[in-house]
Structure 1
Amino acid sequence: MIAIELFIVLAFIYLGARMGGIGIGLAGGAGVLVLSLFLGVDTGHIPVDVILIIMSVIAAISALQVAGGLDWLVQLAENFLRKNPKQITFYAPMVTYLMTLLAGTGHTAFSTLPVIAEVAKEQGVRPSRPLSISVVASQVAITASPISAAVVFFSDILENHGVSYLTLLSIAIPSTFMACMAGAFVANFIGCELKEDPVYQQRLAQGLVTTNAVTSRHILPSAKLATAIFVVAIISVVVYATLISDSVALITHPSLSRNDAIMVFMLTAATAIVTLTKIDASKIPDAATFKSGMSACICVLGVAWLGDTFVAGHIEEIKAVSSELLGRFPWLLAVVLFFASMLLYSQGATTTALMPAALAIGVAPLTAIASFAAVSALFVLPTYPTLLAAVEMDDTGSTRIGKWVFNHPFFIPGVVTISTSVLLGFIFGQLLLG
């Protein structure tokens, strides 16, 4: 039966991937129906906290976007990149990494990709180089963001194993950032120079390559205040989580758990933004970040529920097969997470579906933390929204998807980034955890 059930899980994941968008979440729910109703499998745990955290964070970010805060941040990013255009391949992923770290969602990269492509063209740099690693950096940074659903969920289960929220961030942030720089170094040598690219020359001759600079944005007067409120909320989350942690324990009997605190702080930030900047709250559901965030909730609901339904029903069998293998080769967990996230299209969904099972079968916390970045292999299949946006925004044709599906400019920088992050995670983790 376990083979049949696994086949059903994979079949519905494949169906969801073919549907695209929130299809992976819809198909996940359908898979749960088949497993439970027709095969008698008890339904697994619904990641309610993860979904609620995503909703709360997205509400605050959407309010920030309506108030003009995201436009102001993108303007700052553009100014930074134009002052340092020669090193665009290294500075662009820094920008997308930091924006994701701040916002807890990689979809903030949408706003910066046109700027990256334009600055690269102006300098004669092959746009595929900074665009590819920038997309990868925006995905990997999810595993280091203090307010991302993946980090919050993972830190919650790690606390049962003696690892605090602050310790997780202390390992994840430096390892993922340094890994992104390693990926940028590799990306800088991929592909011929732009002027030597025959596809670019052909498009240039046909007049398909624009040379106009990105138009300046109209920054609303409320942008800076809204951004300040959002940043204060993030700092408050980190400080509060530190104060209630077992390692600090300055608040020994907190009235709010860390998960509840994140939701409260984010919703309060959204309230403050709407009240103090006087934006129209009815515009928040129409914001692009709100729509993408709610889609992410559906994806996490369906896929994580499907994964947990299968894993929970066969945890003993999985323990028997995996514990010895992972004990001998702990890095295999990163490989499993890599391929799972490639199909699940969500760091949050992959984390909630597999990390509890990994720790339950005896995987050491150090191994789990070091492997955490591998849940960001969303770049492997060239169908993720930010990846497709990068391809669309590069009118030079250098950021193109090959006919063999996997031969696209995101693959090698992405694999290098995740591999380096896992390696650094083991190194930093060993230093902090002993």
Structure 2
Amino acid sequence: MIVVELLVVLLFIYLGARIGGIGIGLAGGAGVVALSLILGVPTSQAYIPVDVILIIMSVITAIAAMQVAGGMDWLVQIAEDFLRKNPERITFYAPIVTFVMTLMAGTGHTAFSTLPVIAEVAKGQGVRPSRPLSIAVVASQIAITASPISAAVVAFAAMLAPFGVDYLTLLAVCIPTTFIACMIGAFVANFMGSELKDDAEYQHRLEAGLIKMASEGERREISATAKKATFIFLGSILLVVSYAAAISGSIGLIEDPALGRNEAIMTFMLGAAALIVMTCKIDSGKIPAASTFRSGMTACVCVLGVAWLGSTFVQSHVGEIKEFAGTLLADYPWMLALVLFFASMLLYSQGATTVALMPAALAIGVAPLTAVASFAAVSALFVLPTYPTLLAAVEMDDTGSTRIGKYVFNHPFFIPGVVTITSAVALGFTFGGLFI
């Protein structure tokens, strides 16, 4: 029966991937119905990440409030100015911009706003746009595993707490390792493909008049409340990290805190949203209509469905899985990264992959160091060329250098992405050994 149940799980994950977007969560819920009511698998021990879902809702509400107040436009304008002032180093500066914006916002969708600028600056400098665009997209994905407020980090920190690895330790390992890995990926991307002037597709489009050499264009109209809203939001992130440090076992400034870390994230973020609404005098009714809010609620459904489905199967067979995989992972710890890599290709979500597989990995005895070092591998969303930010990068490059080959996997995101994740995992074992 274990084989039949596994096939059911894989079937519903496949259906969810085919539907796309929120469909992963919907299919996950349907899969739980199939496992429990048809195959009789108990759901009582399944891990349902309620705290993670509530944190996503709280964080996204604060981000959406900032967006309505104009804060997101201001951040994007700052990023644009930075890129245009340093055009000759666009391949290295583009991933820095998308990494930092994702780190602050907890979502890689912030990259949408900067991809057109990256393409324009690269083209104007004579740099092959596929180089900065590819690593910028990869950086926006892997930065999720380093963001203090991302669903993946919050969920993983909660899983690691019983093993003596706290939230701050996780960030201390993940932030530097993923950033350095992005720079290694940028170095590799800088040599990918021929020079733009030698690209046949570019020459063809240039002769056909299909390429527009854009000027700096019009500056965004930044609302008067943008800076205030942004400072409130960034201040709330700083407050979350500071409070987490104060109540952590390693620092212990506050003993027996009345407010736990997860509850602090929720309340601080909701409080920040309230403060933005009141001080910036925005219409709170516009918050649910913001694009960031909609994407965040989609993430909540995806995390709920896929985590429930995966946990239902794993918890009912944890003994057999431990016997089969425990020794293998103990001898070859890097294989966990490989499993996470391939799983995230299908689940299309760092948070969903984390809550689906990390509890099982820890349950069968995977060392916390191995789990933390492998964490970056949940970011392989670039492998299949169907992720929204990847497709946006292709569409925004009118030179044709950022294109998907006929063999599906031969696209400019693949090699920089694999190099970045491999570097992050390798650095994770090195850095993690210092903290864990």
Shorter-chain-normalised TM-score: which range?
A: over 0.9
Question: What letter is aligned with 2:344?
Answer: S
Question: What letter is aligned with 2:8?
Answer: I
Moved over 6 A (4+): none
Distance 2:210 2:284 in 1: 40
Q: Out of 93, 106, 123, which is 2:95 matched to?
A: 93
* Aligned-residue offset at 1:205: 2.1
Distance 1:6 1:342 in 2: 18
**Alignment partner, residue 3 of structure 1:** 3
Is residue 2:105 matched to residue 1:103? yes
* Aligned-residue offset at 1:223: 0.7
Is residue 2:416 matched to residue 1:413? yes
* Aligned-residue offset at 1:319: 0.3
Question: What letter is aligned with 1:262?
Answer: I
Alpha-carbon deviations, 1:225-268, whole Å to 9, x = none?
11100111000000111111111122111111111110111111
Is residue 2:320 matched to residue 1:320? no
**Alignment partner, residue 309 of structure 2:** 306
* Aligned-residue offset at 1:193: 1.1
**Alignment partner, residue 228 of structure 1:** 231
* Aligned-residue offset at 1:101: 0.5
**Alignment partner, residue 21 of structure 1:** 21
Q: How does 1:20-99 map to 2 (within 5 A)?
A: 20-43=20-43, 44-99=46-101
Alpha-carbon deviations, 1:380-418, whole Å to 9, x = none?
111111111111111111111111111111111110000
Question: What letter is aligned with 2:117?
Answer: V
* Secondary structure at 2:353 match in 1: helix
* Aligned-residue offset at 1:118: 0.8
**Alignment partner, residue 330 of structure 1:** 333
**Alignment partner, residue 348 of structure 1:** 351
* Aligned-residue offset at 1:32: 1.1
Count matched residues: 433
Gaps of 5+ in 2: none
* Aligned-residue offset at 1:49: 1.2
RMSD of Structure 2 on Structure 1 (CA): 1.0
Question: What letter is aligned with 2:26?
Answer: L
* Aligned-residue offset at 1:45: 2.2
Gaps of 5+ in 1: none
* Aligned-residue offset at 1:12: 1.2
**Alignment partner, residue 256 of structure 1:** 259
Alpha-carbon deviations, 1:176-217, whole Å to 9, x = none?
000000000011111111111111122222222222234310
Question: What letter is aligned with 2:232?
Answer: I
* Secondary structure at 2:238 match in 1: helix
Alpha-carbon deviations, 1:289-319, whole Å to 9, x = none?
1111111111111111111111111111110
Q: Out of 193, 210, 215, which is 1:191 matched to?
A: 193
Distance 2:161 2:97 in 1: 31
* Secondary structure at 1:286 match in 2: coil
- Identical amino acids, percent of aligned pairs: 73
Is residue 2:279 matched to residue 1:276? yes
* Secondary structure at 1:210 match in 2: coil
Q: Out of 203, 209, 219, which is 1:216 matched to?
A: 219
Is residue 2:425 matched to residue 1:422? yes
- The TM-score, its normalising length taken from structure 2, stands at 0.98
Deviates more, 1:286-295 or 1:422-431: 286-295
Distance 2:3 2:333 in 1: 25
Question: What letter is aligned with 2:166?
Answer: S
Distance 2:271 2:57 in 1: 13
* Aligned-residue offset at 1:139: 0.6
Q: Out of 105, 111, 114, which is 1:112 matched to?
A: 114
Distance 1:404 1:312 in 2: 38
Distance 1:29 1:396 in 2: 43
- The TM-score, its normalising length taken from structure 1, stands at 0.98
Question: What letter is aligned with 1:316?
Answer: G
Distance 1:117 1:263 in 2: 37
Question: What letter is aligned with 2:72?
Answer: L
* Secondary structure at 1:219 match in 2: coil
Alpha-carbon deviations, 1:326-382, whole Å to 9, x = none?
111111110011111111111111111111111111111111100000011111111
